Structure 1
Amino acid sequence: MTGVDSDIALKLDWNLVRTFLVIVEEGSITGAAIRLDLKQPSVSNALRRLEETLGHRLIERGPRNFAVTPQGQVLYAEARDMFGAIERLPGLLADVSGEVSGTVALAMATHVVSPLVDGTLAEFQRSHPSASVSIHVRSSRQVVEDVRARRAPLGICLAGRHYADITYTHLYTEHFGFFCGPGHPLFGRKGLKLEDLAGERSVSFDTDQIDDVLSPVAVLRARASFSGPPVGVSNNLEEVRRMVIAGLGIGPLPIHVVARDCADGLLWRLPPYDDPPAVDVSVVRLKGNRLSRAEAAFCAILDRRIAETPLDSRTYGLDRHFSRSANPRTVPPRIVPL
């Protein structure tokens, strides 16, 4: 392929660039086709046309190979910033008016549960009734990517790898426990030890890996000696919860998030009861990113609430918040799984 000519801006089809962005984000032609609601050959053809226009191979692909080339990585970084800025134009244009208006786009990991977030949403709406909030639920990895691409002014997620262009503000710490559903043989049993879980089937999150955001949970899973790899995996907390309740296996869940489920007899807390693994949830923002008035106002409220709340009150899932085992005093009646 040859180099790029001087009037590339006039020749470039920006829809092709947008398709390329989605291909990289999804990690495959097939995934991009599903997200864009297009036929796979159409997506492949768009990538080929873009490569011909730019004169460079952007993605090495084959039956078992998918790798973004150095040229593709440069294009992705530049295009991500450009499209992110364009998507935020409505909010910036709304700043021309005298009042705080426009939409604050939040990228949030699945099932973020914190009174700090709820209080910020309520106060923001009371203070700025002409503004609105849009919440997009993503995986923690995708939340960070949305913030880096300027598709969202801030995100709330589990922070794994730290990037130099991102600021991380500790929002709260949550603790994970192991749980089973009503149909499981260990449901309702007290006095269990971690070794009692050995050989049991399990379900988990796809980030439950030693080198990912749920590494503390992965370490504990290894100690529990479950039977083989998880029989069910998801990046969504509600789906992991569903699999646990349905009886597929034992699964890790944030203790404070499922306290009501335990009280209602849908879940039963299993060992270990002491020193459960802790995972930090952070507010992530792009350094130097220009915020609209609505976005700046939202961030100011959230930052103030974090600063005013002691760390002890932003730590969830320990004994001081729930009973020792997070199970009711008496065993509830068994409930038919979902």
Structure 2
Amino acid sequence: MEKTDPIERLARELDWNLLRTFIVIAKSKSLTEAAEVLRLKQPTLSSALKRLESRVGKRLIDRSPGNFRLTAAGKLLEREAIEIHGAILRLGTLMRDVTDEVRGHVRIAMASHVVSPLFNDTLTEFHATHPHATLSIDVTASRYAIENLTARHASLAVCLVHDRSPKLRYRRMFQEYFGFFCGPSHPLFGKKNLTIADLAGHSSVSFVTDQMDDALRPVTLMRAEAHLSDRVVGTSAHLEEVRRMIIAGLGIGPLPIHVVRRDIKDGQLWQLPPYEDVRKIDVYVVWNPKVQLNRAEQAFLEALLARIERTDISERTYR
């Protein structure tokens, strides 16, 4: 009798329902919690986990006394199971979109308050060319935009990037400059001829990504150079909320200069030093090349990349 290859046997015998169950287990703090989410009895779930561990030949969960965490094999299986789950969910959409006319839905995961004429022009062009396609834009923190993309819950992402994944593709869409601002009730509001030394000791607000090991590292360095108070009194992943806290007088905070020009003109915000040595941040379009895009997603991504390619970086730099 011909010997069956172990990898081929695993692919043939592995039950997708076990993988789907494991995704829930991996995100839970215990089998009891996972059982409640899945509406199953705990012994039933425990048995399913044992079957899966038997199929893959690895221990997936460390369930020693006081511990319930993924093993190295469990972490690897969770990542792959999430990708498989996303691919299966997309099958129905892909089959539905097989027509002569470009139809389908484009789901964009986008960082908060991205202001880019290039992106807006792409939306206009896409809708005019493919009126039966639909779009949705989900605003989220950049790190979650990437997570949604990796899990195949988004067609593409427009966001800040810190660490690049070899599984994803990146193209710089535009550059924006961040400056420091304060609101009308702040003691520095309206004052001219300030220097960066005048900011020392003042409280600040910022983005959750304003950290040395995250996407807004250049802004973190600028905040350190200004000797702002170490205590950040307010944070948010959304630009609008950081702007709200600055205007409300909670502290000095960073914002993209081109985004808040109207607020400066209307007397809602006052720009503070440094005026020249402001920090440049890149905003990227990111996509997953392993995903089989529907026709609408493919058309939108191609239109956006083509517009980026034919637009000089000087026209995609907003200051």
Q: Could you say which TM-score interval applies, normalised by the shorter chain?
A: 0.7 to 0.9
Q: Give the corresponding residue for 2:182.
A: 180
Q: Could you say if the C-alpha distance between residues 61 and 213 of structure 1 is closer, same or farther in structure 2, counting changes exceeding 3 Å?
A: farther
Letter in 2 for 1:174: E
Deviation per residue, 1:290-318 (Å, 9 max, x gap): 2211111101211121112110011111x
* 1:285 shift after superposition: 1.2
Q: Give the corresponding residue for 1:260.
A: 262
Q: Could you say if the C-alpha distance between residues 68 and 230 of structure 1 is closer, same or farther in structure 2, counting changes exceeding 3 Å?
A: farther
Q: Give the corresponding residue for 1:167.
A: 169
For the 8 Å contact 2:208–2:236, the answer to whether it is kept is yes
For the 8 Å contact 2:29–2:68, the answer to whether it is kept is no
Question: 2:310, 2:17 → 1: CA distance?
Answer: 53
State which drifts further: 301-310 or 177-186.
301-310
Deviation per residue, 1:242-296 (Å, 9 max, x gap): 1111111111111111111111111111110002001100111112432211111
For the 8 Å contact 1:90–1:102, the answer to whether it is kept is no
Map 1:61-210 onto structure 2 (within 5 A): 68-210=70-212
Question: 1:299, 1:251 → 2: CA distance?
Answer: 34
Does residue 58 of structure 1 match 2:58? no
> In terms of Rg, which structure is larger?
2
* 1:232 shift after superposition: 0.6
Q: Could you say if the C-alpha distance between residues 8 and 243 of structure 1 is closer, same or farther in structure 2, counting changes exceeding 3 Å?
A: same
Q: Which stretches in structure 1 are left out of the alignment for 5+ residues?
A: 31-38, 318-338
Q: Give the corresponding residue for 2:4.
A: none
* 1:72 shift after superposition: 2.1
For the 8 Å contact 1:210–1:218, the answer to whether it is kept is yes
Question: 1:203, 1:61 → 2: CA distance?
Answer: 42
Q: Give the corresponding residue for 2:24.
A: 19
Secondary structure class of the residue paired with 1:195: helix
Q: Which stretches in structure 2 are left out of the alignment for 5+ residues?
A: 1-9, 54-58
Q: Give the corresponding residue for 2:312.
A: 310
Letter in 1 for 2:105: T
Question: 1:177, 1:111 → 2: CA distance?
Answer: 16
For the 8 Å contact 1:60–1:69, the answer to whether it is kept is no
Question: 1:225, 1:41 → 2: CA distance?
Answer: 50
* 1:218 shift after superposition: 0.5
Secondary structure class of the residue paired with 1:88: helix
Question: 1:153, 1:276 → 2: CA distance?
Answer: 33
Does residue 294 of structure 1 match 2:288? no
Q: Could you say if the C-alpha distance between residues 13 and 150 of structure 1 is closer, same or farther in structure 2, counting changes exceeding 3 Å?
A: closer
* 1:207 shift after superposition: 0.8
Secondary structure class of the residue paired with 1:173: strand
TM-score for the superposition, normalised by structure 2:
0.85
For the 8 Å contact 1:29–1:44, the answer to whether it is kept is no
Letter in 1 for 2:52: L
Question: 2:140, 2:62 → 1: CA distance?
Answer: 25
Question: 1:61, 1:247 → 2: CA distance?
Answer: 50
Question: 1:280, 1:61 → 2: CA distance?
Answer: 45
* 1:18 shift after superposition: 4.3
Q: Could you say if the C-alpha distance between residues 232 and 59 of structure 1 is closer, same or farther in structure 2, counting changes exceeding 3 Å?
A: farther
- Identity, in percent, stands at 47
Q: Could you say if the C-alpha distance between residues 60 and 237 of structure 1 is closer, same or farther in structure 2, counting changes exceeding 3 Å?
A: farther
Deviation per residue, 1:178-229 (Å, 9 max, x gap): 1111111111111111110001000111111111100000001111111222
Question: 1:222, 1:59 → 2: CA distance?
Answer: 42
Q: Give the corresponding residue for 1:334.
A: none
Question: 1:162, 1:59 → 2: CA distance?
Answer: 29
Q: Give the corresponding residue for 1:9.
A: 15
Letter in 1 for 2:299: A
Question: 1:58, 1:226 → 2: CA distance?
Answer: 45
- The RMSD of aligned alpha carbons is 2.8
For the 8 Å contact 2:102–2:295, the answer to whether it is kept is yes
Letter in 2 for 1:58: I
TM-score for the superposition, normalised by structure 1:
0.80
State which drifts further: 227-236 or 208-217.
227-236
For the 8 Å contact 2:87–2:291, the answer to whether it is kept is no
Question: 1:60, 1:134 → 2: CA distance?
Answer: 41
Deviation per residue, 1:134-186 (Å, 9 max, x gap): 11112111112222222222111111101112111010001101111111111
Question: 2:223, 2:63 → 1: CA distance?
Answer: 36
Q: Could you say if the C-alpha distance between residues 59 and 188 of structure 1 is closer, same or farther in structure 2, counting changes exceeding 3 Å?
A: farther
Question: 1:278, 1:169 → 2: CA distance?
Answer: 16
Question: 1:176, 1:77 → 2: CA distance?
Answer: 35
